[in-house]
Amino acid sequence: MALSKSQLPGRPQHFLECGIEDCERNCEFYCNLCHTRLCKQCRDEHLRSPETKRHEVVLYQQRKRQLPTEKCKIHPTKDIELLCDECKIPICSKCTATQEHRGHTFTDLESIYTEMFSHCQREIAKIHEYFLPTSQDLQREINEDTKEIKKIMDKLRTSMKAEAESLKCMVDSVTSENMEEVNKIEQSLLEKLNNQDTTIEKYITYLNDLDKKFHVYMSSLKPTKLVTAEDMQFQPIPDTRKPVVPIFTAGKCSKKDVAKLLGQITFPNIEKEMRRVQPLESKIPSHLKSTSYVYQVMEDSQQLSNIKQTLSLSSSVTEVREFNVPGVKKVFHISQDQSDRLWVSDRNGNLVQTDLQGNQIQKIKTSGVFGYHTVTQNEDLIFTVDNKKVINRITQDNNITEFIRTDWVPCSIHSSHINGDILVGMMMGDEAKLTRYNKTGKELQNIERDNKGQGLYSQPFYITENINGDICTSDYEKEAVVVVIKSGQHRFSYTGQESGFIPLGICTDVLGHILVCDINNVHLLDQDGQFLSLLVTRERGIYPISVCVDDENILYVGQNRNNTVIVIKYLQSMNIE
């Protein structure tokens, strides 16, 4: 029996259900008129019904926010639902017929509320994605300048002591005076830097308070209490100046002019440099702008230059052999190690290194579940720790060390064959994202939303990279393979050939094909997401849940019913004349 959604670990306890009574299907749509969550089937019935067929039904993410209920003070039985454009006050429908508002125009207050809610979300995003990071960068720069000042002053002292040593006691008094001057300058510079640090710290506190303020507005917005443009204005980032350090000018060794011989402390004749702050327009994420999405094809022409033969899809799929992997109960994930070795894991956290005949080389007990391990370009194994915010690394000498510590829970991981970057699927509550690290563990990029500001991911349980730099993710909850280009812009999503598509293990090959399991089949897609064929189906007695293509373009398929790996050949070679 195939593994169902409810049998797979890691699924949330709750999901957004259809709002129709006795319907337990997932919510996908929303009726803006009656404010009801709808699944696909209930949406169709909603639009067929004579009473509701003219209702505005949209995708749930594009819904209008339901206006909080507030009674009209003039007509207590009526809800406030309109804004008088002339009087600029919220009113109920009955107020429109009064003498006070006769002849006026009105705006649906729900539309204003929805726009205001979205505006608050955008402003909060700006705080977190521009103002806070920029201010924190300035604070780090100030701290680095503080350290650098101390280093420079230490060098100045060393130079002065070297000069003084040659003059012995004759210059002790002058040396003492110069040392005192240096200390005063250092104290003055550090005080200025500390003041700058304090200023930026206060501004960060202000931003955090403003963040809370916007959250409060969002939770308490009422038709009678609209947020004005003045409430949304930010105080500018405080100006700070980089310190100008003194220069030590060595003197000539003469008894007559001791002070000049020991040198003087002076400042360079330059204007104080302002710390660079990139403008908001240059740093604001694409989903907060109104720019259109343009996809640029990125293709590495050298990727295949060393291949001595041209590959193409074979007319038939050949099962070469199969082998069992001792130490695991099922084959939830496969990573290629060396050319003759694989790493295989099951849902119980057993991680086994095996050769291609199924002989166990070593076994590690972990706590991962899905696509949680990968092999780097240096042939180190890295793996995530389930429900912990850490990624570990196992080196060739079998030492396990902490490699990356995160703020989110990593659930899938892949090491790029192009540049060695580490791609990690992350989750935190109901949110999910992809994070790119370089091979040393430095965070480079976060991919979370599309160009409309909608979340790209829900449960990115498996992740891989294509030859053109596309990042391909099996998102279990969204029931789709989500593909973005290297910069993070959404390119396409593949949702299977029929309903109930549940993508799991995923990989790509040297031709850019995307291979993905859905428990029952292995789907073969081209680089642009077009369906080509089913390589493996349950009718053949195989229940695929993980896939891996090795350097010889051989496909390994792991099963979710046992510890068997099926070895398949699906490409054929043609010699280049």
Q: What is the pLDDT of residues 335-346, one digit of tens each?
A: 988 778 899 998
SS3 495: coil
Rounded Cα gap, residues 360 and 362, in angstroms: 6
Say which residue, 60 or 193, is predicted with more confidence: 193
pLDDT band at 88 (very low <50, low <70, confident <90, very high): confident
Say which residue, 138 or 282, is predicted with more confidence: 138
- Between 2-16, 118-132, 329-343, 347-361, the lowest mean confidence (pLDDT) is in 2-16
User: Which residues is 371 bridged to in the sheet?
Assistant: none
Rounded Cα gap, residues 539 and 215, in angstroms: 53
pLDDT of residue 471: 93
Stretch(es) of the chain classified as CATH 3.30.160: 5-62
Whether pLDDT at 564 is above 80 = yes
Each residue's pLDDT tens digit, 487-506: 888 989 999 888 888 999 99
At a CB cut-off of 8 Å and minimum separation 6, what does 113 contact?
A: 65, 67, 68, 221, 223
Task: Count CB-CB contacts under 10 A for residue 536.
Answer: 26
DSSP letter string, 520-558: SEEEEE-TTS-EEEEEEEGGGT--EEEEEE-TT--EEEE
pLDDT of residue 7: 41
- Written as one letter, the residue type at 473 is T
For Cα atoms 376, 321, 571, give the angle at the middle one, nearest 5 degrees. 65
Q: State which H helix or E strand residue 390 sits in.
A: strand 390-394
Residue 427, by phi and psi: left (phi above 0), alpha (psi -120 to 50) or beta? beta
Whether pLDDT at 383 is above 70 = yes
Highest mean pLDDT among 249-253, 256-260, 479-483: 479-483
Q: State which H helix or E strand residue 145 sits in.
A: helix 132-167
Residue with the two structure tokens 């209008």: 64
Q: How far is CA 427 from the centre of its chain?
A: 9
User: Which residues is 92 bridged to in the sheet?
Assistant: 80
In this prediction, what percent of the chain has a pLDDT beyond 90? 23
Each residue's pLDDT tens digit, 1-43: 344 444 443 333 345 788 898 888 888 899 988 889 999 999 9
Rounded Cα gap, residues 245 and 192, in angstroms: 12
Tokens encoding 2: 């195939």
Stretch(es) of the chain classified as CATH 2.120.10.30: 332-545
Tokens encoding 346: 């099951």
Rounded Cα gap, residues 567 and 302, in angstroms: 29
Rounded Cα gap, residues 17 and 132, in angstroms: 36
Return mean pLDDT, the chain.
81
CB 531 within 8 A of CB 313: no
Whether pLDDT at 172 is above 80 = no
pLDDT of residue 12: 36
Mean predicted confidence (pLDDT) in 402-406: 90
Classify burial at 514, counting beta carbons within 10 Å of its beta carbon; exposed 0-12, middle 13-18, buried 19 or more: buried
Tokens encoding 133: 């990071």
Rounded Cα gap, residues 228 and 66, in angstroms: 20
Rounded Cα gap, residues 514 and 31, in angstroms: 36
pLDDT of residue 283: 57
User: Which residues is 413 bridged to in the sheet?
Assistant: 424
Which CATH fold would you assign to the domain 5-62?
A: Double Stranded RNA Binding Domain (3.30.160)
DSSP letter string, 68-99: PP-B-SSSTTSBEEEEETTTTEEEEGGGGGSG
DSSP letter string, 261-305: HH-EEE--S-PPPBPP---HHHHS-GGGS-PPP-------TTTTT
Whether pLDDT at 153 is above 60 = yes
- Between 46-50, 193-197, 222-226, 314-318, the lowest mean confidence (pLDDT) is in 222-226
Strands 106-108 and 531-537: unpaired
At a CB cut-off of 8 Å and minimum separation 6, what does 47 contact?
A: 53, 55, 57
Tell which CATH architecture fits domain 332-545: 6 Propeller (2.120)
Rounded Cα gap, residues 416 and 438, in angstroms: 10
Helices (H) and strands (E) in the chain, counts: 6, 32
Rounded Cα gap, residues 489 and 55, in angstroms: 33
CB 504 within 8 A of CB 461: yes
| Residues comprising the chain, all counted | 577
At a CB cut-off of 8 Å and minimum separation 6, what does 477 contact?
A: 11, 12, 15, 458, 459
